[in-house]
Amino acid sequence: MSEESASRTGDDGTGESGAVCDGAGESGAACDGGPEVRRLADWDADTLLDLRRQYGSPSYVLDLDRVRENYRRLAAAFPDAAVHYAAKANALGDVFEALDDEGAGVECASAGEVVRALDAGVPSDRVHYTAVNPPAVDLDTVVELWTDGVAADLTVTVGAEDTVARLATRGYDGRLCVRVNPGVGAGHHEKVQTGANAKFGVPRDRALDVAETATQAGMDVVGVHAHAGSGIHDADDLDAHREMVARVGDVAREFDAAHDLEFVDVGGGLGVPYREADAPLDLDAVADATRDALGDVDAQLVVEPGRYLVADAGVLLTDVNTVKETPDTTVLGVDAGMTTLARPAIYGSYHPIRNVTAGGDGRGEVRATVTGPICESSDVFAEDRPLAEPVRGDVLAIGNAGAYGYEMASNYNTRPRPATAVLEDGSASLARRRETLSDITTLEL
């Protein structure tokens, strides 16, 4: 594997941060974009152990240089498109700032994400607020930001005619995008396949009527939007994505006669290989399929990647506190749990796991079940997973944790959320301190 600008000096094939790339990586990717995928084995063990010593356990680590690499690779595959980062994957301010430096916009699923993007310095003309059955407080916040001029140029995407009426009641007559339900979904789990779910978007045969209602209320209809789902990775998913894009292209052409569209937003959902043997997403194939399916539309293409930009840029570090031999497996208890990383409990998701303490010291291998401290049988990160033989005090790294990790963390069992450290230009810093019990209880009256 070629040297990554985001990696650290070590014995496992990674190079120094900032090292000059002397050719394409094993994937054939250009240097600026880095290799197509970073595996958990590519993280330097000494660096991870040092971060554990500095910031405690459990802690998230996010490599901002890798986020930039992922963005550049995607932007090269979609040279004529605007890239808007789906903030729900990881709404850390440092991520917004890094991607803003690269020229990315931000797609926000809540008013809170809008505020955080603006606070990070993202210009409002690159902020899209995708309102899905928005609570009143969300609409109040966003419209107030727009009225005050803080977000004068943001775009609100609506998926229901009700939302148009609620915006009009609040005096909003700014930029509007209509989200269409394409009737076809895709993704890694049924819970994230949005394209065919009635919750999301306006039925295609009602989209133009909703746009007319918005125009009559004085709003400027500037785009149409659709999204198939999250974690699109295999051929079947790509076929569904292609069909979704074709359908939203048809809607955009229907809009042409009545509205001067600036953009057609085909969502995100680009997947990453969580399992070690899975191949990277064929990004060029996705880009080609997207352009071909969209067809001739007189508007700019917008894509909204989330996990693709941040997933392999992050790991979760956690200490082993219990090693228990049972007739069926070796149970490893760690101090992270489903409150720290919820994806395995919610979706049955696979995350690679590595014993970084045991690297290179000749330990044997065991089949282990890695569990957290939560009193729930769902609090399991892996079952029967081969790992270097553990002892209490070892540090495990859980890979591909940069997306939907901290964002989905909770205080269940009154457990404080972890710290987050960031790596950038060869140095580490604390981006978000660890919560304390008093942080949790301070809201009680």
In whole angstroms, give the CA distance from residue 248 to residue 432: 39
Q: Is 376 annotated as a binding residue?
A: yes
Q: What does the buried/exposed string (b/e) look like for 124-154 if buried means 16 or more CB atoms within 10 Å of the residue's CB?
A: bebbbbbbbebeeebbebbbebbeeeebeeb
Q: Is 305 annotated as a binding residue?
A: yes
31 noted as active-site residue: no
Q: Is 253 annotated as a binding residue?
A: no
Q: Is 116 annotated as a binding residue?
A: no
In whole angstroms, give the CA distance from residue 144 to residue 151: 9
Q: Which of 66, 81, 84, 82 is nearest to 25 (CA)?
A: 66
- 149, 129 in Cβ contact below 8 A? no
In whole angstroms, give the CA distance from residue 84 to residue 107: 6
Q: Is 291 annotated as a binding residue?
A: no
DSSP secondary structure, 22-73, as one string: -S--TT---GGG--S---GGGS-HHHHHHHHHHH-SSEEEEEHHHHHHHHHH
Query: H helices of 148-234, where?
Result: 161-169, 207-216
Phi and psi torsions of 348, nearest 5°: 70, 30
- 132, 159 in Cβ contact below 8 A? yes
Tell me if residue 346 falls in helix, strand or coil. helix
**Total residue count of the chain as it appears in this document:** 445
- 142, 154 in Cβ contact below 8 A? yes
Q: Which of 266, 313, 306 is nearest to 286 (CA)?
A: 266
In whole angstroms, give the CA distance from residue 53 to residue 212: 59
The residue annotated as part of the active site, out of 21, 31, 108, 375, is: 375
Burial class from Cβ neighbours inside 10 Å (0-12, 13-18, 19+) for residue 427 reads exposed
Q: Is 417 annotated as a binding residue?
A: no
Q: What does the buried/exposed string (b/e) look like for 207-245 if buried means 16 or more CB atoms within 10 Å of the residue's CB?
A: bbebbebbeeeebebbbbbbbbbbbbbeeebbebbbbbb
Beta-bridge mates of residue 264: 224, 301
Enclosing H/E stretch for 320: strand 314-325
Q: Is 404 annotated as a binding residue?
A: yes
- Output the CA torsion 283→290→238→39 (10° steps): 20
Q: Which residues are annotated as a binding site for pyridoxal 5'-phosphate?
A: 269, 304-307, 404
Q: Which residues are catalytic?
A: 375
Q: Which residues are annotated as a binding site?
A: 269, 304-307, 343, 347, 376, 404
Q: Which residues are annotated as a binding site for substrate?
A: 307, 343, 347, 376, 404
